[in-house]
Amino acid sequence: MKFCSECAHPVSLVVPPDDNRPRFVCEQCGTIHYQNPKMVIGSLPVWEENGQIRILLCKRAIEPRYGYWTLPAGFMENNETTTEAALRETFEEAGARIKLHGLFSLLNVPHVHQVHMFYRATLLDLDYAAGTESLEVALFTEEEIPWNDIAFPTVGHTLKSFFADLARIQKEGGSYALHTQDIRKPMRHTESPQA
Amino acid sequence: MKFCSECAHPVSLVVPPDDNRPRFVCEQCGTIHYQNPKMVIGSLPVWEENGQIRILLCKRAIEPRYGYWTLPAGFMENNETTTEAALRETFEEAGARIKLHGLFSLLNVPHVHQVHMFYRATLLDLDYAAGTESLEVALFTEEEIPWNDIAFPTVGHTLKSFFADLARIQKEGGSYALHTQDIRKPMRHTESPQA
């Protein structure tokens, strides 16, 4: 940020009164331009048939990570809720209709100022199709997932947590948990406190 | 937003190519200025003594809702995680040291472009004190809470959900759940899908 978006005067990076960190401040009109993390919201769409569980993934048609595989997800927009964002991104990127279940993962990525959240979901039909941001959309069993070609650590962590929960539930019963993780650069994973 | 923060040229509100909603776009330097929801993160600090549960609340010394009571919470900053934000806000507003437990509530407030999240927490000692944004900080039992003077619906919902969970756990056992809610204007509450 170089100029005030309200009056076009050059901004200064200073600590405002009663604050404790530098902000972009306009000394002409007084506006303080706060910058805060953004939310990336997506879904983990599950298709179960003949006892076989498969997950819908999208191959990215855009940078960053062009050609790598991701769960459908994207930046949450103003005027929508987290669940509306998950439904919208899943339809935009994968043409897929889903039923949402609970929030499954919440992953902090502080070095890029992002929080990623994924909802567990049931894919409602097989009429999915790649949107403009995807090269390809396909269903994968746990063994088929291209584990070495996953676009983002938050997606890999969410997929691994899902299959770990699934194995536990199939063996012992119980339910899916909320998985939280902090992903720091360089790739240092730390557990968040959890219930 | 009236001017480009990169080059000071006036911005236009137009739908960019490959997009589906209006953005502030600079036709001089080409920058698209995305605007996204912000996260407000806080804690629900619990003090238990002789079997009595009390919650730490702050009386707001700033607008909006000056003089009303809130859980310690505030805007998440860049370069921090959700748990770091909860710890920081609790210390800044209430001078309180806490141990965080799981994420307890996630509340969408789409008409103000916010998502509020509260972590359940244990207050570690009684050396709390009002920060610059609080007039007063105090502990309240469920009966003592100033229910008619709570600053925000997200705080009221989080407090009510906590005491409902507590009553259920004391009666039947079990554990705290994640509570999600969409709070729309005018005050139309809708349940989010939940696990």
CB B111 within 8 A of CB A79: yes
Chain A interface disruption, residue of B13, B23, B81, most A CBs within 10 A:
B81
Residues A15 and A104 in one domain: no
Q: Which of residues 109-138 of A touch B (CB under 8 A)?
A: 110-111, 113, 115, 119-120, 132
Q: Judge whether B69 lies within some domain.
A: yes
CA distance A177 to chain B (A): 9
Q: What is the mean pLDDT of chain A?
A: 95
Residues B143 and B85 in one domain: yes
Residues A24 and A43 in one domain: no
Q: Do B132 and A7 touch (CB under 8 A)?
A: no
- Residue B174 sits in a domain whose CATH number is 3.90.79.10
The arithmetic mean of pLDDT across residues A90-118, rounded, is 98
Residues B31 and B60 in one domain: no
From A29-33, B55-59, B137-141, B185-189, the region with the lowest mean pLDDT: B185-189
Report pLDDT for B195: 44
Q: Give B77-114 as a DSSP string.
A: PTT--HHHHHHHHHHHHH---EEEEEEEEEEEEGGGTE
Across the interface, of A8, A18, A81, the residue whose CB is closest to B182 is A81
Q: What is the dihedral of CA B79, B83, B87, B90, to 10 degrees?
A: 110
**Strand partners for A46:** A55, A122
The arithmetic mean of pLDDT across residues A68-94, rounded, is 98
CB B41 within 8 A of CB B74: yes
- Residue B22 sits in a domain whose CATH number is 2.20.70.10
Amino acid letter for position A170: Q
**Reading across the β-sheet that carries B23-26, which strands appear in turn?**
B11-14, B23-26, B32-33
Indicate if the pLDDT at residue A195 is higher than 60.
no
Q: A145 lies in which domain range?
A: 38-182
**Strand partners for B121:** B45, B100
Q: Judge whether A193 lies within some domain.
A: no
Residues of B in contact with A83 (CB under 8 A): 108, 182, 192-193
Q: What value of ipTM does the predicted structure carry?
A: 0.93
Pairwise CA distance, residues B100 & B95, whole Å: 15
Share of chain B above pLDDT 90, in %: 92
The arithmetic mean of pLDDT across residues A97-101, rounded, is 98
Residues A134 and A175 in one domain: yes
Residues A4 and A79 in one domain: no
Q: Judge whether A190 lies within some domain.
A: no
User: Scanning every residue of chain B, which has its alpha carbon at the shortest distance from the alpha carbon of A100?
Assistant: B193
Q: In this structure, are strands A114-123 and A98-109 parallel, antiparallel, or unpaired? A: antiparallel
Whether pTM exceeds 0.80: yes
Residues B58 and B150 in one domain: yes
**Strand partners for A55:** A46, A140
Other beta carbons less than 10 A from residue A151's beta carbon = 20
